[in-house]
Amino acid sequence: MRTFKNFVICILILFSIQSIGQSFPNKPVKIIVPYGAGGISDIAARIMANKLSLMWQQAVIVDNKVGGGGFIAMNTVAKSDPDGYTLLVATVAEFTIAQHLNKNQSLNTANEFIPISLLLDTPMLIVVNADKNINSVSNLINMSKGQTGGVSFASPGIGTLNHLMGERFATESGAKLVHIPYKGGAQAVLALVSGEVPIGVAGAAVVTSFIDSGKVKVLGVASRQRLKDHPDWPTLIESGLKDFVESNWVAIAAPQGVSKDIIQKINTDINKVLLQDDVKEQFIKIGAEPVGSTSESLSEKIKKDSDRYGKLIDKLKLKLD
């Protein structure tokens, strides 16, 4: 009798958990963005929020909480109720790099969050001012070796994905590069466009307009294959750099403790949105590729990227704390 009673209790719990997932959401959902309005993370969040609002028949609100290198937004979500109603826009910077640079302030993302799904992937590029006589990766490598001080490259700052990619490129290609950090992506791109710095490492979304206007040239894209919309951009792999893939991805995460059913529902619905033609078009307009995923595959990606950046940061002896 006791065994049967326990069986019935287990069945009731299972149905209760399933019903929670099926009824979610029954009130407004908030998506916290660590960056200001207008950036690629913010735009992606707003596209997703609009579509999920229609799908769920509930308001999905985007809330920008800027500051602390993403810490304020992350801390807000980590301390929220684990019910799926407060979500976080997660990026490669906060989830794979920050904890290695600033161990005193950064959260342990593996312990504090559940990755839900990728939203987009923006391939990283090595670009050059169009007036410079550098037309290929091999040109850059040879020129840098022939200059006493090497060739300067711009990034949005120390420890950014752009910086780390530039250092990785120098290590694996043998190029002699000197890092010039700026206070943000816009400043770094302007320095490149003006010729103040000859080389830059940037996301495709940030420099595409300058490439189209002929002010900047692409030396290589850090993707496995050439991009469909830019088949004339050679990959760094083609240039002899094995497995050289770097991208500025954006994802959605939830605080630890959210039930598996709710995580699965949000994941399923996000991936449905990413398949819609108008969503694909909106993402492509901002220079990004819509990319969905399972929660499990995103977790694996985060761990792999984090391990790789951690080793590079240790090698470079970088610290921000």
For 56-77, the pLDDT digits (tens) are 999 999 999 998 878 899 999 9
CA atoms of 175 and 93, how far apart (whole Å): 25
pLDDT at 321: 61
What is the topology classification, in CATH, of domain 2-121+248-316?
D-Maltodextrin-Binding Protein; domain 2 (3.40.190)
Helical pair 277-285 and 40-56, crossing angle rounded to 10 deg: 170
Among the residue ranges 26-30, 108-112, 193-197, the one predicted with the least confidence is 108-112
pLDDT interval class at 21 (50, 70, 90): low
Report which listed range, 9-23, 74-88, 204-218, is most confident.
Answer: 74-88
Specify the 3-state DSSP secondary structure of 252. strand
**Average pLDDT of the residues in 85-93:** 96
29-62 as b/e: b if 16+ CB within 10 A = bbbbbbbeeebbbbbbbbbbbebbeeebebebeb
Mean pLDDT comparison of 3-12, 219-228, 282-291, highest-scoring range: 219-228
Confidence at residue 17, expressed as pLDDT on a 0 to 100 scale:
46
Of the ranges 2-16, 92-106, 159-173, the best mean pLDDT one = 159-173
Statement: residue 8 has pLDDT above 50: no
Residue 145: predicted pLDDT: 93
How confident is the prediction for the chain on average, in pLDDT?
Answer: 90
Rounded to an integer, the average pLDDT of 45-60 is 97
CATH of 123-221, one of 1.10.1040.10, 3.40.50.720, 3.40.190.10, 1.10.260.40: 3.40.190.10
**Domain limits of the chain?**
2-121+248-316, 123-221
- Whether 123-221 and 2-121+248-316 are alike in CATH topology: the answer is yes
**DSSP string of 138-203, one letter each residue:** HHHHHHHHHSTT-EEEEESSTTSHHHHHHHHHHHHH---EEEEE-SSHHHHHHHHHHTSSSEEEEE
Q: Write out pLDDT tens, residues 289-300.
A: 899 999 999 999
CA 54 to chain CA mean position, Å: 25
What is the spatial distance between Cα 97 and Cα 163, in angstroms, rounded to a whole number?
Answer: 11
With cut-offs at 50, 70 and 90, classify the pLDDT of residue 3: low
Closest alpha carbon to 173 in 141, 218, 125: 141
